[in-house]
Amino acid sequence: MISDIEECVLKKIIFGEKNSKKIADSCGITEVTLNVILKRLIDEGYIDWEINPTEKAYRELKWVNGVYPIEYYVNTKKFLKMTIEIAIVVMFFVTLILVTWWVLWS
């Protein structure tokens, strides 16, 4: 179990903050305290040595206000490819309808 301050630090890390001064300021702690908390989170397996959240952090911390970083759920490349493919199909049908309408009413 982690404390409220550790939870605050972990939330900042999960949402992409890497700057130690910003994390410390937003959680209301000193950078020395932050270093101790980071060491504890690493030891507990919530973050790795590059200050990236681990699967354990995502799996156990479902309470992050019901919001998760989109990268955790959506493979951005696949999502972008699917969006472009849908746009192409929609444009094809719109063009087909407009050409049909123009041929029939001209």
User: What CATH code is carried by the domain that includes residue 56?
Assistant: 1.10.10
CA triple 18-27-33, angle to 5 deg: 80
- Looking at residue 21, what is its pLDDT? 93
Do 33 and 58 lie in one domain? The reply is yes
Instruction: Give me the residues of the chain with pLDDT under 50, please.
Output: none
Give pLDDT, residue 73: 52
**Residue 93: exposed, middle, or buried by beta-carbon count in 10 A (0-12, 13-18, 19+)?**
exposed
Predicted pLDDT of residue 56? 86
Q: Tell me how many domains the chain contains.
A: 2
If asked whether residues 88 and 55 sit together in one domain, one would say no
**Structural domain harbouring 3:** 1-68
Is 63 in the same domain as 78? no
